[in-house]
Homo-oligomer: A and B are copies of this chain.
Amino acid sequence: MWLHRARVTRGNGRAGNPLVAKLMQFAPLSDGDVVVLEEMCRREERFQPGTNIVVEGETPRAAFVITRGLAHRYRLMPDGRRQILTILIPGDFCDLHGFLLKAMDHSVATSGPTRIAAIDRETVMKLVLNHPRIGAALWWSAMQEQAMLRERIVALGRRSARGRLAYFLCELVWRQRAVGMAEDHAIRLPFTQTDLADTLGLTSVHTNRVLQGFRRDELITLERQRLILRDIERLQAISGLTPDYLKLSSTPSEVLRYFDDLERDRAPPSLPEDP
């Protein structure tokens, strides 16, 4: 386990598996669990920037994991305007249950060169059934995802443009740090200002001005798709965020028990799962 932790935090993410890194935050995984996850991510596929992975209205055939790069869920309005719903970073397990839906209510596209591993339904079921710890971690990460959706509602409903931007940038950096994809407070951000605007519910023009304000105030640097947070203190103050927001990431001993219980009920004389 320590070995994996080490691999995850070393380097700029090229090394560790972000999915493993993410799930380890939530539940202690056995070596067997880790191997399965890594194996699952092996069959990754490359996508050009701006490629649609899932399209609104279509029937999703499989779940998928982002292994590298960046993607986003979005919705197009009848008049052509766009709202980006969430950003997907490496380690995000998408549409875990969604593959049973008959039609997507939104699309997913890559926002830079991105690698994605598709996980078919069969595999997902086996994964959850045979690896309760992974199930627990996935459940937990679904909770976190929901929390992020709520946070977004608060941001769009009650924060100023500056607040939204500050919040968004902080969140993105934190998330990437959490899966070992960022040293310091810098990340790669393959987003145009229009993308940013569509995320924040603003105009690209106004986003531009706010962005410049941030640069002038030396809060951030953003050039050539490289974002650096220069003054996190002040950024947090602007975003008005509760500092312990993602505190979900503590050890949920109760949750583990819950899932272990499920497992016990499920396969009475269950075989040992770890080698």
In whole Å, how far is A84's beta carbon from the nearest beta carbon of chain B?
A: 8
The answer to whether A75 and B248 touch across the interface, beta carbons within 8 angstroms, is: no
Across the interface, A252 reaches (CB within 8 A) one of B82, B102, B105, namely: B102
Residues of A within 8 A of B (CB-CB), count = 50
The answer to whether B100 and A157 touch across the interface, beta carbons within 8 angstroms, is: no
| A interface, over-half SS | helix
Across the interface, A75 reaches (CB within 8 A) one of B154, B254, B268, namely: B154
Q: How far is the CA of A98 from the CA of B267 in the complex (A)?
A: 25
The answer to whether B157 and A252 touch across the interface, beta carbons within 8 angstroms, is: no
In chain A between 57 and 74, which residues have their CB closer than 8 angstroms to a CB of chain B? Answer: 73
The answer to whether A85 and B267 touch across the interface, beta carbons within 8 angstroms, is: no
The answer to whether B201 and A100 touch across the interface, beta carbons within 8 angstroms, is: no
Encoded as 1 (CB less than 8 Å from any B CB) or 0, chain A from 232 to 275 comes to 00000000101001011010101100100110011110000000
Encoded as 1 (CB less than 8 Å from any B CB) or 0, chain A from 145 to 166 comes to 0110111111011100000000
Q: How far is the CA of A78 from the CA of B242 in the complex (A)?
A: 9
Collect the chain B residues with CB atoms within 8 Å of residue A258's CB.
100, 125
Indicate whether A103 reaches chain B with its CB closer than 8 angstroms.
yes
